[in-house]
Structure 1
Amino acid sequence: MSLDAVLDIAAAVFLVAGALLSLAAGVALLRFPDLLTRMHAAAKPQVLGLLLVLIGCALRLRTGVDITTLVLVGIFQLATAPVAAHMVGRAAYPHDDIRTDLLVTDELAAHLDRIAGARDDEVRA
């Protein structure tokens, strides 16, 4: 078996695994009960699925310019997906879009209570 055939098989495995992870993330977005669990399902397997697809594409293409572009796409996805998920969670928290009964630790509640108390003191002054 030639090296090209082995690389093509490895590329196919990476592409299928990445596609399945992305599909699982999409199904979880529809099935999970609240925003935080949906956000987790969108951020974690989606990023890993995309990285696997990018690795599969890199194995299949095997040219320097294309692989550089794929690496840049992966880096930007790793840099932006966690930040976007964090900001969506922070924006949705005060609007009761999450189920607090499912939280193990709620560190943001004390912080928001402290901010609300400071605002009330400013209004009174």
Structure 2
Amino acid sequence: MTPSDFISAVLLIVGSVFFFAGTLGLLRFPDVYTRLHALTKADNVGLGLVITGLAVQAETWAAVGKLLLIWALVLLAGASVAHLVAGRALQKGIRPWKR
């Protein structure tokens, strides 16, 4: 196992842990706003780590560029969708959770 294989494996595993944490947040948090926060933050970081792990194994700079473009587009789409969902929840009168 080469050092790049080890680094890639660690990044992929840590990224998967962040995805799992985002999923737990979706299932456990009390309202739509905290669930959106958990999903967007954890999944964006998780995807960044997975993309980085894949980029370490990429054979060309073009492949690395494509991976970074995918990450940027997913970041943009995730933020846009979270904003739309939160805005619609506010329009429907769903109040943020308070203790």
Give the alignment of 1:1-125 within 5 angstroms: 5-101=2-98
Deviation at 1:100, TM superposition (A): 4.8
Mark the runs of 5 or more structure 2 residues left unpaired by the alignment: none
Tell me, in whole angstroms, the C-alpha distance in 1 between the residues paired with 2:36 and 2:20: 15
Moved over 4 A (4+): none
Deviations 1:29-49 (A, max 9, x none): 011110000000110010110
* Secondary structure in structure 2 of the residue aligned to 1:101: coil
Mark the runs of 5 or more structure 1 residues left unpaired by the alignment: 103-125
Instruction: Count residues in correspondence.
Output: 99
Deviations 1:48-90 (A, max 9, x none): 1001000001112232232121011011122222222111101
Aligned identity (percent) is 31
Say which one has the larger Rg. 1
Deviation at 1:5, TM superposition (A): 1.0
Q: Which moved more, 1:6-15 or 1:74-83?
A: 74-83
Q: Which has the higher contact order (CA 8 A, sep 6+)?
A: 2
